[in-house]
């Protein structure tokens, strides 16, 4: 059914016969409600497409500016070469000695030299960009929050899989999380590794024992916590306990200038010599601290 037909459904008045028939009236109401919901979904999709288009335009403008700057550099270099040629030619014309003058480069040679310098400038810029990316990996991935890059699609997938509730929200490009009343800061990486609301008593006891907030723990350590709970409850038939956890695992703190980093500064590692089921906790999770969102803690637990 197209949008015009849907609009006709919303604008079509209720007839006296439908008003007198409760079943027909309810069917009419349900039809209008479904149409209104379709309009709402269409509007949300259009808004998301508009945002993507705006981001694409910004990226294109940035690339255009980079090209303009590169062309300006090429023109400047070419002007310098032309001035050198003119100076060399003038010196050659005014010299009356028998010394053989050096050969003046041709226009084609000058053009090739300019192209080589442009390629060198592009390589230098590429190297600088790689250095900046590595700096972000070192400082941003485990040091601080990054602007929110979460999308509706990612959170809807987590909701459809039953990993989060329907009470989530986010504001894209927000620099630092600022949850409202009853909201908890979550990240996609934590949820995919076993964290959900309301938090278990074992997880809360881990936070209290080590004096941590959830964002202090690196994502791969969440997988260790989930595996430990599964081992205790699913295989050993016991309640997970912090003392038992401490027997198997030690903590590694990451600091900068002797101060603990804000995000991902705590990593749990198996103690040497402990017998424990094999596990792989070294999965790369780049920029996990940009995939954050808010979720309502419906149960009211802290």
Residue 190 above 60 pLDDT?
yes
**Is 7 in the same domain as 77?**
yes
Lowest-confidence segment of 49-63, 136-150, 179-193 by average pLDDT: 136-150
**How many other CB atoms are found less than 10 A from the CB of residue 73?**
14
Residue 26 lies in a domain: yes
Residue 28 lies in a domain: yes
Instruction: Give the residue numbers spanning the domain of 69.
Output: 1-93+100-139
pLDDT of residue 134: 52
H or E stretch covering 185: strand 183-187
Where is the domain boundary, 139, 170, 204?
A: 139
**Is 159 in the same domain as 281?**
yes
pLDDT tens-digit series, residues 224-256: 999 999 999 999 999 999 999 999 999 988 877
**How many other CB atoms are found less than 10 A from the CB of residue 188?**
23
**Is 156 in the same domain as 290?**
yes
Residue 145 lies in a domain: no
Query: How many Å separate Cα 66 from the centre of its chain?
Result: 24
Residue 297 above 60 pLDDT?
yes
Counting DSSP H helices and E strands in the chain, the numbers are 9, 7
Residues facing residue 269 across a β-bridge? 250
Cα-Cα-Cα-Cα dihedral sign, residues 213, 214, 220, 221? positive
DSSP 8-state assignment for residue 214: G
Residue 144 lies in a domain: no
**Is 131 in the same domain as 156?**
no
**Is 233 in the same domain as 192?**
yes
**Is 179 in the same domain as 78?**
no
Number of domains in the chain: 2
CA–CA distance, 159 with 163 (Å, rounded to integer): 6
**Cα–Cα–Cα angle for 251, 253, 256, nearest 5°?**
175
**How sure is the predictor about 98, in pLDDT bands with cuts at 50, 70 and 90?**
very low
Residue 49 lies in a domain: yes
**Is 125 in the same domain as 190?**
no
Mean pLDDT of the chain: 81
**How many other CB atoms are found less than 10 A from the CB of residue 187?**
24
**Cα–Cα–Cα angle for 27, 31, 32, nearest 5°?**
120
Residue 50 above 90 pLDDT?
no
**Is 171 in the same domain as 130?**
no
- Between 180 and 91, name the one with better pLDDT: 180
**Is 289 in the same domain as 165?**
yes
pLDDT tens-digit series, residues 165-187: 999 999 899 888 989 888 999 99
**Is 216 in the same domain as 135?**
no
Residue 280 lies in a domain: yes
**Is 181 in the same domain as 277?**
yes
Residue 147 lies in a domain: no
**Is 64 in the same domain as 181?**
no
């Amino acid at each position: 059914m197209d949008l015009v037909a849907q609009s006709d459904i919303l604008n079509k008045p209720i007839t006296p016969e439908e008003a007198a028939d409760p079943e027909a009236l309810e069917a009419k109401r349900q039809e209008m409600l479904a149409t209104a919901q379709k309009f709402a979904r269409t509007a949300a999709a259009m808004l998301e497409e508009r945002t993507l288009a705006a981001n694409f335009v910004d990226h294109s403008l940035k690339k255009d500016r980079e090209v303009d700057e590169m062309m300006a550099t090429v023109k400047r270099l070419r002007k310098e070469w032309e001035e050198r040629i003119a100076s060399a030619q003038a010196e050659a014309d005014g010299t009356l000695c028998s010394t053989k003058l050096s050969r003046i480069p041709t226009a084609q040679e000058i053009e090739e030299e300019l192209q080589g310098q442009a390629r060198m400038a592009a390589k230098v810029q590429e190297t600088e960009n790689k250095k900046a990316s590595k700096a972000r990996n070192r400082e941003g991935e485990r040091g601080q929050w990054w602007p929110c890059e979460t999308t509706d699609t990612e959170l809807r997938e987590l909701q459809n899989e039953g990993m989060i509730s329907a009470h989530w929200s986010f504001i894209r490009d927000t620099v630092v999380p600022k949850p409202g009343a009853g909201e908890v800061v979550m990240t996609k990486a934590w949820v995919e590794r076993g964290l959900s609301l309301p938090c278990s008593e074992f997880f809360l006891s881990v936070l209290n024992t080590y004096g941590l907030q959830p964002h202090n723990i690196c994502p791969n350590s969440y997988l260790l916590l989930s595996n430990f709970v599964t081992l205790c409850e699913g295989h050993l038939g016991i309640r997970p306990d912090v003392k038992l956890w401490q027997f198997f695992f030690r903590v590694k703190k990451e600091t900068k200038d002797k101060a603990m980093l804000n995000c991902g500064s705590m990593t749990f590692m198996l103690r040497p010599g402990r017998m424990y089921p094999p596990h792989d906790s070294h999965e790369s999770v780049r920029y996990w601290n940009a995939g954050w969102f808010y979720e309502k803690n419906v149960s009211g637990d802290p």
